[in-house]
C-alpha cells in the first residue's frame, strides 16, 4: 500500500501524518502550509510543525514521468541508465587498479623491511658472539706497552741463559692468533647450545662424595698445595704446586706420583698442564715461570718476564704462548718454545698489582684481576684495556671464563661471587657467600654447564640457574684449587691441608 500526499496527490518522499486530521502529507509542503496558515489544510484546526509525526517507509519508487509513456522514450531512458551504470563500473575499476598498485607497493616495502631486519639480526648475533672484536671503549687510558728485555733460553748445560734481543708482536704471530680464534669461534657455533650427551646430569652430580684422598704429594714440613690443574686431554693426570716449592705430576688412575720438579726458590702458586704436549708450567713469587718436561723430568725453559712475584698464569689456545700477571703491575705474553717475552703491558692510570689472569676461550681477549678490586678486559692484538668491571671490594682472587665465551666469573676477598655478561659488559648475578668466605679458585667444566668454587669449602653451581648443586667440607684447611674431570665425571680439589681429593659417584 502506497502513501499519497493529501495536498499534491503524489507519493511523498518524506511522508508525515497530522494528528489533527490523520492525513498523510509531504513534509516540505505541509511545513510550508503551516508556516503560512498555522492550521491543518483538511479541517482548518490549529497545527504546528512539532505535532507532525514522521512515517518510516522504504525508499519510494517514483512513477515515470509522462515522457516515458512511449516505447522510444522508455528505450532512451533505459539507454541513459545503462550509460550511467557503465560509467560507474569504469570508475570502480579505476579505483580497484589504484588499490592494487598501492597494496603491491606496500607488500614490496614489507618484504624489503623483513630482509633488512633479518640481516641486522644476523649481524648483531655475529657481533655478540665474536667477543674477540671488542674495541677499546672511549675514555679509557691506553696502557703503556714496553718491549720485553732480557728473556731467557736454556743453554746446553740446562741452565738458563740471558737473551738481550727484544721481541714484539709480529704480524705473523697476530695472524696466528686470529686464525686460531676464527677456528674456535666456528667450532663453538657448530656445537651451539647443545650439552654433551656424556655430561653428568645435575641430579647425579648432587650425589657425588669423596672417593679418594692423597696427602703424600708435597712435603709435610711446609704444608699446603697452592695450585691445581688437570691435563685437558687426559684428566687422570693431575698437576699440583706446593708451598714446598715443588711441582708434582700425579696419576689418578695409578694413584702414584709420576714426576716431581724442583727449581723454584719460593712457593709455587700457579700451574698449567699443556693439553697436547708432555709439558707443564709453573709460576712463583720468585718472579719466574718455568717450563718442565714430564717425560724428561727436567726444566726446559725459564721465562723471566717480571720483576716481582708472578700471580697468574694462563695458556693460549694455540698452546704456544703463555699469559702471566705479576705484582710488578704488568702482564706479559711469552713464547714457550723460546722463553722470550713478546710483549709486556701495564695500565699506568691504575698503578696497581695484578692478582690473576685468564685467557678468553677464543684467545684474542683476556681478563686480569687487580689488588684494588677491578677486573680488566684486554685486547691482546692491540694490547689495550677494552673494558673494566668494578664492583668487588678487596683484591680479586680468581677469574674464569665459561666455555661459550659469554660469561665471566670472578671472586674476591669480599665473600662474594660475581657473574658478568661479556656481551652487555655488565654484572647480571652476584652470589653472596658466607661471612668471611675466601674464594681461592673458580673453574667452569669443559661444557660450561657447571661452575666450581674453591675456598673455605667447595661449592658447585649449575649455570644459567646459578643454583648450588653440591657442597663439600672434607678439607680441613683452605681449598686452593678445584677442577672438573672429563664430562664432569669427577671433581678434584687441593688445599692447605696438603691433601689432593677426588669426588664422584
- For 319-328, the pLDDT digits (tens) are 999 999 999 9
Q: Is 75 within a domain? A: no
Same domain, 185 and 332: yes
What pLDDT shows up at residue 63?
61
Mean pLDDT to the nearest integer, 142-146: 44
Q: Is 256 within a domain? A: yes
What pLDDT shows up at residue 11?
87
Same domain, 344 and 206: yes
Q: Is 78 within a domain? A: no
Residue 175 structural domain: 171-504
Q: Is 211 within a domain? A: yes
Number of domains in the chain: 2
Q: Any idea which of 75-79, 186-190, 272-276 has the lowest mean pLDDT?
A: 186-190
Same domain, 51 and 197: no
Q: Is 184 within a domain? A: yes
Indicate whether 465 pLDDT > 90: no
Same domain, 180 and 31: no
CA nearest neighbour of 210 among 490, 497, 437: 490
Same domain, 208 and 328: yes
> Which pLDDT tens digit goes with each residue over 475-504?
998 999 999 998 899 999 999 998 999 999
192 compared with 386, residue with greater pLDDT = 386
Mean pLDDT to the nearest integer, 243-247: 92
Same domain, 214 and 359: yes
Mean pLDDT to the nearest integer, 419-438: 88
Q: How confident is the model at residue 128 (pLDDT cuts 50, 70, 90)?
A: confident
Q: How confident is the model at residue 61 (pLDDT cuts 50, 70, 90)?
A: low
356 compared with 152, residue with greater pLDDT = 356
Which CATH number is 213's domain given?
2.130.10.10
> Which pLDDT tens digit goes with each residue over 390-423?
889 889 999 999 988 888 999 998 888 999 998 8
Could you give the 3-state DSSP secondary structure of residue 242? strand
Mean pLDDT to the nearest integer, 98-123: 94
CA nearest neighbour of 386 among 187, 136, 167, 164: 136
What pLDDT shows up at residue 250?
94
Task: Tell the residue number behind the cell numbers 708432555, with chain if given.
Answer: 278
Which CATH number is 34's domain given?
3.30.40.10
Q: Is 163 within a domain? A: no
Q: At which of 44, 60, 76 does a domain end?
A: 60
Q: What is the dihedral of CA 229, 478, 460, 418, to 10 degrees?
A: -100
Q: At which of 36, 60, 84 does a domain end?
A: 60
Q: What is the enclosing helix (H) or strand (E) of 33?
A: helix 27-37
Q: Is 134 within a domain? A: no
DSSP code per residue over 392-432: --S-EEEEEE-TTSSEEEEEETTTEEEEEETTTTEEEEEEE
Q: At which of 40, 60, 80 does a domain end?
A: 60
pTM of the model: 0.67
Q: Is 373 within a domain? A: yes
Alpha carbon separation from 14 to 2, 56, 60, 65, 426 (Å, rounded): 13, 8, 9, 19, 77
Same domain, 54 and 181: no
Amino acid at each position: 500500500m502506497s502513501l499519497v500526499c493529501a495536498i499534491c496527490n503524489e507519493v511523498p518522499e518524506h511522508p508525515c501524518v497530522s494528528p489533527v486530521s490523520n492525513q498523510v502529507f509531504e513534509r516540505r509542503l505541509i511545513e510550508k502550509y503551516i508556516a503560512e496558515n498555522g492550521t491543518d489544510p483538511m479541517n482548518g484546526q490549529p497545527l504546528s510543525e512539532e505535532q507532525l509525526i514522521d512515517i518510516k517507509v522504504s525508499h519510494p519508487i517514483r512513477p515515470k514521468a509522462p515522457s516515458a509513456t512511449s516505447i522510444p522514450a522508455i528505450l532512451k531512458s533505459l539507454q541513459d541508465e545503462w550509460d550511467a551504470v557503465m560509467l560507474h563500473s569504469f570508475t570502480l575499476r579505476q579505483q580497484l587498479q589504484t588499490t592494487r598498485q598501492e597494496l603491491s607497493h606496500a607488500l614490496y616495502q614489507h618484504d624489503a623491511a623483513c630482509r633488512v631486519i633479518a640481516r641486522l639480526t644476523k649481524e648483531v648475533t655475529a657481533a655478540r658472539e665474536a667477543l674477540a672484536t671488542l674495541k677499546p671503549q672511549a675514555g679509557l687510558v691506553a696502557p703503556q706497552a714496553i718491549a720485553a728485555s732480557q728473556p731467557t733460553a736454556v743453554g746446553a748445560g740446562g741452565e738458563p741463559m740471558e737473551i738481550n734481543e727484544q721481541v714484539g708482536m709480529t704480524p705473523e704471530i697476530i695472524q696466528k692468533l686470529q686464525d686460531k680464534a676464527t677456528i674456535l669461534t666456528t667450532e663453538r657455533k657448530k656445537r651451539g647450545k647443545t650439552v654433551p650427551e656424556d655430561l653428568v646430569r645435575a641430579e647425579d652430580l648432587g650425589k657425588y662424595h669423596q672417593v679418594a684422598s692423597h696427602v703424600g704429594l708435597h712435603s709435610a714440613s711446609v704444608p699446603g698445595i697452592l695450585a691445581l690443574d688437570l691435563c685437558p686431554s687426559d684428566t687422570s693426570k693431575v698437576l699440583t704446586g706446593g708451598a714446598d716449592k715443588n711441582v708434582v705430576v700425579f696419576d689418578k688412575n695409578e694413584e702414584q706420583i709420576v714426576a716431581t720438579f724442583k727449581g723454584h726458590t719460593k712457593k709455587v702458586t700457579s700451574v698449567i698442564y699443556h693439553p697436547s704436549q708432555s709439558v707443564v708450567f709453573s709460576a712463583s713469587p720468585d718472579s719466574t715461570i718455568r717450563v718442565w718436561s714430564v717425560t724428561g723430568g727436567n726444566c726446559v725453559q725459564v721465562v723471566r718476564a717480571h720483576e716481582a712475584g708472578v700471580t697468574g698464569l694462563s695458556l693460549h689456545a694455540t698452546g704456544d704462548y703463555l699469559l702471566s700477571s705479576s705484582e710488578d703491575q704488568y702482564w706479559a705474553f711469552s713464547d714457550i718454545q723460546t722463553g722470550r717475552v713478546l710483549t709486556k703491558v701495564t695500565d699506568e692510570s691504575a698503578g696497581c698489582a695484578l692478582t690473576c689472569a685468564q685467557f678468553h676461550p677464543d684467545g684474542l681477549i683476556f681478563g686480569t684481576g687487580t689488588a684494588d678490586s677491578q677486573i680488566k678486559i684486554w685486547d691482546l692484538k692491540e694490547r689495550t684495556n677494552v673494558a673494566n668491571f668494578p664492583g668487588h671490594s678487596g683484591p680479586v682472587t680468581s677469574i674464569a671464563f665459561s666455555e661459550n665465551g659469554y660469561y665471566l666469573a670472578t671472586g674476591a676477598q669480599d665473600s662474594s661471587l660475581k657473574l658478568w655478561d661479556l656481551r652487555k659488559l655488565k654484572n647480571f648475578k652476584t652470589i653472596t657467600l658466607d661471612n668471611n668466605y675466601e674464594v681461592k679458585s673458580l673453574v667452569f667444566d669443559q661444557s660450561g654447564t657447571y661452575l666450581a668454587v674453591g675456598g673455605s669449602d667447595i661449592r658447585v653451581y649449575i649455570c644459567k640457574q646459578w643454583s648450588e648443586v653440591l657442597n663439600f667440607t672434607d678439607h680441613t684447611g683452605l681449598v686452593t684449587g678445584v677442577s672438573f674431570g672429563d664430562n664432569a665425571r669427577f671433581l678434584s680439589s687441593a688445599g692447605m691441608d696438603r691433601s689432593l681429593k677426588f669426588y664422584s659417584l
